[in-house]
Structure 1
Amino acid sequence: MQIIENSTLYDVIIVGSGAGGGMATKILSEAGLKVAVVEAGPYFDPAAPEQQTQFKWPYESPRRGANTVRPFGEFDSAYGGWDIEGEPYTTEEGTDFRWFRSRMLGGRTNHWGRISLRFGPKDFKRKDMDGLGDNWPIGYDDVKPYYDKVDKLIGVFGSNEGLPNDPDGFFLPPPKPRLHELFYIKGARKSNIPVYPSRMSMLTKRINDERGICFYCGQCSRACSVYADFSSGTCLIFPAQKNGGQIDLFVNAMVREVTTNEEGKATGVSYINKEDRKEYKLKGKIVVLAASACSSARILLNSKTKQHPNGLGNSSNIVGRYLHDSTGGSRSAFIPDLMNRKMYNEDGVGGMHVYTPWWLDNKNLNFARGYHVEVWGGMGMPSYGFGFNHNEFNKYFGINVGGYGNPLRDEVKQYYGSTMGFGGRGESIPQKDNRCEIDPTKVDEFGIPVLKFNYKWTDDEINQVGHMHDTFEEIVHNVGGHLLGDKPTIEQKNGIYAPGEIIHEVGTTRMGDDSKTSVVNKFQQLHDVANVFIVDAGPFVSQADKNPTWTILALSWRTSDYIIEQLKMQNI
């Protein structure tokens, strides 16, 4: 097949435009480097009238709200999902890994929950504490200056609490708790479970002239048309363009491989244009992979040459290994004291106003590591079935809900806002055999070999999720509530979410000082190829019980500064 070569020589080619790719684009382009950004999906701007989904009603959907073509709701701003037509992946027998991909400029940052937590000092050195997994080759003090910069650049609300492993930052004012969150606070504190204001990247106060302030529509998952919440496109790439950055965007471009020369040094990337189905080559002095942990691993493994027979950067045979996702467990409950509520607007931000960080000592528990608790509820977009399921109410409480006309309206008003839900998100122990690798028998619609996943939870993760459910039950009992659904059993693995479902996958190109047991060094530079860097979550040695985005952003900024420094010194 003829490959069309672009004559431009870029200083840096960045593959992927999510958190890591967006930050690298901003920092490197504003340093004067000519940057190419290669994104597998289309251009996206939530302020563009033809792409905006904020403020749409369910009846504006072709399905009138009865169903959705998107995993997180009809108007969610994720172009993609766990299953994408023409882009399959496979699993080893006994594996239920689910791989979420968001194909669009800004990637997953357009629809994520904006929970913006720093890793703490303990999170970088967990092996020293429990003997499991490995320590990072860097510590909190190495990343703290970049966390501080990210806080100030992007904006995050919260409160300084002096917690040893949940570090304070530079916070905007947090929103007040809503009624269901006040019930959660009451129930949690009765059991000595701490509750604090959430730390989330929505602007509750103006920080510059380019972005608006959150007006509490509660629709952050649709991406904000006034740029009040953080998305990579609106907060990093667009500002970099306005600041004069030399940025060429290549959208709908599916990267096949990193190209190399006879010395094994990277020379650029090749990609398939999704619109004309032709293959193109871009030339660059440096390649930065930010396609997501699994996608970057796939690109490296597909970049086989005489100099790199095992895949680019894979002399250690570690690429794709140590894949791990956050643990997840959830439960919902009916709270009688929240019935017959007065109707008022309490939408708030698109997510929780309060949360519970990990508070216990694992030495007294039957699992390692911890989890945080997220809470939801309130009076969101009303529809029949919102917040309760009539079959469950019949089963558990003998309450007959249903019908038509006025009786239906009366019942919806009676129960509207009377449910509360919990989500636990915890740290898993990285396992070498949990991995993604190339399936030699299958390609996607672009002719690119696909990934095959092999993943199993250990007892640590299963027991941890069991503890989550015990916590949820205790809090509900404390507020006089009734749990909906049956508690999952140990035979059901305590209801732990399938790996990949929490969409926090990390670890496939892990960081380390030893090139035999890791893929990148402490600056996220390939041990094997000095002009290739990885700035997504692949280099994570461990996940912590926090969402990974703030750490991806901080490490990407740190790596970008290192690239600039190394270029000045002519080391790459």
Structure 2
Amino acid sequence: MAAYVLAMAGLKVLMLEAGRDYDPVTETPMFNLPKDAPLRGAGTPEKPFGFYDATVDGGWQVPGEPYTQASDQPGRRWDWWRARMLGGRTNHWGRISLRMGEYDFKPYSRDGLGFDWPIAYKDLAPYYDKTEMLIGVYGSNEGLENTPDSSPGVLLPPPKPRAYELLIKEACKPLGIPVIPAHLAILTRRLDHERIAPQLFPHNELAQRVTRESMQERAACFYATGCGRGCAIKANFQSTTVLIPPALATGNLDIVTDAMVREVTVGPDGKATGVIYIDKTTRLEQRATARAVIVAASAAETARIFLNSKSARHPDGLSNRSGLVGKYLMDTVGAGLSAQIPALENLPPHNEEGADGMHMYMPWWLYKEQLAGKLNFARGYHIEIGGGKRMPGAGAFNGMEAVTGGAYGQAFKEACRRYYGSHVYFSGRGEMIPNEDCYCEIDPDVVDQWGIPVLKFHWQWSDHELNQAVHMQKTFAEIAGRMGAKTTSTVHTDGAKAIHNGGAIIHEVGTTQMGNHPNRSVLNAHCQSWEVPNLFVTDGAPFVSNADKNPTLTIMALAWRTSDYVIEQFKQRNI
């Protein structure tokens, strides 16, 4: 996003990417079936989300690029997902695009826990609008508490609910749980390029032209295959189809792939001069110089670069006088439950059209009860749902044993026809409160294959997150019970068993916290280093808290706001 906005403004941008080049238009297997893939498309250590997942080099383990854990105890580890490819995780993500609300920017003021952001919702609202218009987000405005509405004309129409989503909505009514259209970055119709481009870039003919041309190249989703494969018709959002091509079209962006950045260099005047990186094809050290440096490597990798950027001026790492670089690492609280709905058994084969992802979801609904202290955890969660008769792959029928007792042979085939499409899945995604036990630091004894010191992770959930995960499980079970469904996974009442490991949800934020005072934050309210005035961060690292809203939309909106500030600083010759 930073490269896109800066290139549109006429600044010359060099992007260094740690992974290889990647083009979804030519590389996405849009119509290949599970039977066409090794292991019927099943996941492997090299491809955890299956053979067709767009992540070409990455996962929780990257060969030659280890990381270490401070503890091997259950619940004390961080699983670090990385995507070594152009476009990074935007090629892989679930496209869920939720705005943080007013409460989410001022959580400390609300309940006395964690920290307040140095900005408020109103500061980011215009950038949410612009980001949603640019990338294309479907959804609706419902006027719910702390679930912000978009401006009129911003959102695309949501697809119609599926049968299981309507059943869940009916079951949630007596529980007071809202079930509303989800917000996903998938085009349900083509973008209005003639209207949107001038709104995004008034008085900038170049930006309008390349953005308009880019939007015209995007087709509406025709519900063919999973978004996680990448999208050859550019219907979903990934930076490799939506942000990078128009940025390149300006003539202001150069990209160097297979460039593993080791550190940011600083001159005698205290300003960043550029970076040192390893050319992964030659294994030689290279340097790039610039008037400003923007780091957007993912929260943990950004902290790693900062911590490895040591000098006489910065003995503890770059911009780390506060000692907070790497601290307050956060992920989303995750817990799940699966169930089988008898009412959906023996469904005839039918075309269950839809986007690859939710058409409906449940935003957090117990703000008032939480504020009144009626719950044993301080922050909320939303519920994502899945199910239906999608194209089955390896493992699609693994849940049959729970309902058949272990059918085999002909009985198993009959069970598949009877039960397939009758399973639903509930996934809770909740807010984590930052704590001092969750951080990353440089391991003094381990380096990666490029000779760069690696990260060691420290992790521990608080009781707030553990109790929240139990509440999720109980809520899922209650919803399933009202549908007459049978749970096919364990309903955990022990938070340590209910909750996923840190890092498992891949919502990695924190580590270079933004704030109002240099002693209590790494960055100011513009994501600018307090100590190095021409150094900025535009990934999830500046996050002060981790709301239950998936972070990607906020990362992009915040990056756009930061980039506008960088442009203004260049105009004023402060950089």
Residue in structure 2 matching 1:182, options 142, 166, 171: 166
Residue 510 (structure 2) pairs with residue 507 (structure 1) = yes
Q: Match for 1:130 among 87, 91, 111?
A: 111
Residue number among 392, 396, 406 corresponding to 1:386 in the alignment: 396
Matched, 1:555 2:555: no
Matches within 5 A, 1:215-230: 215-230=222-237
Give the match's secondary structure for 1:451: strand
Q: Distance in 2 between matches of 1:323 and 1:193?
A: 30
List per-residue Cα deviations over 1:384-410 (Å, max 9, x = no partner).
75154233234xxxx442215xx4432
- Farther-moved stretch of structure 1 (409-418 vs 503-512): 409-418
Which stretch has the larger CA shift, 115-124 or 63-72? Answer: 63-72
* 8 Å Cα contact 1:336-1:418 kept in structure 2: yes
Q: Distance in 2 between matches of 1:343 and 1:274?
A: 49
Give the secondary-structure state (helix, strand or coil) at the position aligned to 1:165: coil
Aligned to 1:11: none
Alpha-carbon separation, structure 2, partners of 1:447 and 1:464: 41
Alignment correspondent of 1:58: 34
Task: Report if aligned partners of 2:54, 2:92 keep a CA contact under 8 Å in 1.
Answer: yes
| Cα distance in 2, alignment partners of residues 347 and 311 from structure 1 | 51
The one of 428, 434, 442 aligned to 2:432: 428
SS in 1 for 2:243: helix
Tell me the equivalent position of 1:367: 377
Q: In structure 1, what is the equivalent of residue 48 of structure 2?
A: 71
Q: CA deviation at 1:118?
A: 0.6
Alignment map for 1:85-96 (pairs within 5 Å): 85-93=63-71, 94=73, 95-96=76-77
Could you tell me which residue of structure 2 aligns to residue 517 of structure 1? Answer: 520
Q: Is the 8 A contact 1:27 1:560 kept in 2?
A: yes
2: CA distance, partners of 1:447 / 1:393 = 52
Letter in structure 2 aligned against 1:440: P
Please tell me the residue identity of whatever aligns with 1:27. V
Structure 1 CA distance for aligned equivalents of residues 318 and 406 of structure 2: 61
Q: Is the 1:352–1:376 contact (alpha carbons within 8 Å) kept by the matching residues of 2?
A: yes
Whether the 8 Å contact between 1:387 and 1:417 is mirrored in structure 2 is: no
C-alpha separation between the residues in 1 aligned to 2:190 and 2:321? 48
TM-score by length of 2: 0.92
Contact 1:346–1:379, Cα closer than 8 Å, also in 2: yes
Matches within 5 A, 1:101-250: 101-169=82-150, 170-207=154-191, 208-242=215-249, 244-250=250-256
Aligned to 1:38: 16
CA deviation map 1:113-161 (0-9, x unaligned)? 1000110011001111110011101100111111111111111111111
* Residue equivalent to 2:198: none
Number of aligned pairs?
Answer: 540
The 2-side partners of 1:402 and 1:264 are apart by: 70
SS of the residue aligned with 2:128?
helix
Q: 2:549 maps to what in 1?
A: 546
In 2, Cα distance between the equivalents of 1:571 and 1:166? Answer: 37
Read off the aligned partner of 2:321 and give its amino acid letter. Answer: S
CA distance, structure 1, for counterparts of residue 403 and residue 348 of structure 2 = 22
What TM-score comes out, normalization by structure 1 length? 0.92
- Structure 2 Cα separation of the partners of residues 445 and 462 of structure 1: 37
On the 8 A contact 1:87/1:444 being kept in 2, the answer is yes
Distance 2:506 2:353 in 1: 25
Cα root mean square deviation, aligned: 1.3
Q: Which residue of 2 aligns with 1:451?
A: 455
Contact 2:25 2:232 in 1 (8 A): yes
Which residue is equivalent to 1:571? 574
Deviation sequence 1:146-193 (CA, Å, 0-9, x none): 111111111111111112311111210000011111111111123221
Asked if the contact 2:363–2:381 (Cα under 8 Å) also holds between the matched residues in 1, the reply is yes
Q: 2:2 aligned with 1:24, yes or no? A: yes
Q: CA deviation at 1:58?
A: 1.8
CA distance in 2, matches of 1:63, 1:218: 18
Indicate which of 310, 329, 332 corresponds to 1:304.
310
**Cα distance in 1 between the residues matched to 2:51 and 2:445:** 34
Could you tell me how far apart the structure 2 residues matched to 1:505 and 1:153 are?
24
Mark the CA change 1:218 to 1:357 in structure 2 (over 3 Å): closer, same or farther. farther
Helix, strand or coil: the match of 2:292?
Answer: strand
Secondary structure of 1:300's counterpart equals helix
Q: Which residue is 2:209 aligned to?
A: none
Please give the alpha-carbon distance, in whole angstroms, between the structure 2 residues aligned to 1:389 and 1:103.
33
Change in 2 beyond 3 A, CA 1:383/1:566: closer
Query: Which residue does 1:291 correspond to in 2?
Result: 297
Give, in whole Å, the separation in 2 of the partners of 1:344 and 1:273: 51
Show CA shifts across 1:480-503 (max 9, x none).
00001222241x614100000011
SS of the equivalent of 2:66 reads coil
1:391-406 residue pairs with structure 2 within 5 A? 391-394=401-404, 399-404=405-410
* 1:183 maps to amino acid: L
Residue of structure 1 equivalent to 2:212: none
Q: Who is 1:6 aligned against? A: none
Q: Which amino acid is the alignment partner of residue 167 of structure 2?
A: F
Task: Supply the distance in 2 between the matched residues of 1:160 and 1:67 (Cα, whole angstroms).
Answer: 37
CA change 1:273–1:542 in 2 (3 A) is: same
Match of 2:143, SS?
coil
Mapped to 2, the partners of 1:471 and 1:375 lie a distance apart of 13
Tell me the residue number matched to 2:284.
278
One-letter code of the match for 1:411?
A: A
Q: Work out the CA distance in 1 between the residues paired with 2:341 and 2:160.
A: 21
The SS at the match of 1:323 is: strand
Matched, 1:465 2:455: no
Does structure 1 conserve the Cα–Cα contact (< 8 Å) formed by 2:41 and 2:50? Answer: no
SS of the equivalent of 1:469 reads helix
SS at match of 2:178: coil
Q: 2:440 touches 2:457 (CA, 8 Å); kept in 1?
A: yes
Which blocks of at least 5 consecutive residues in structure 1 are unaligned?
1-22
Deviation of 1:264 after TM superposition, in Å, equals: 2.6
- Residue 485 (str. 1) matches residue 485 (str. 2): no
Conserved in 2, the CA contact under 8 Å of 1:377 and 1:420?
yes
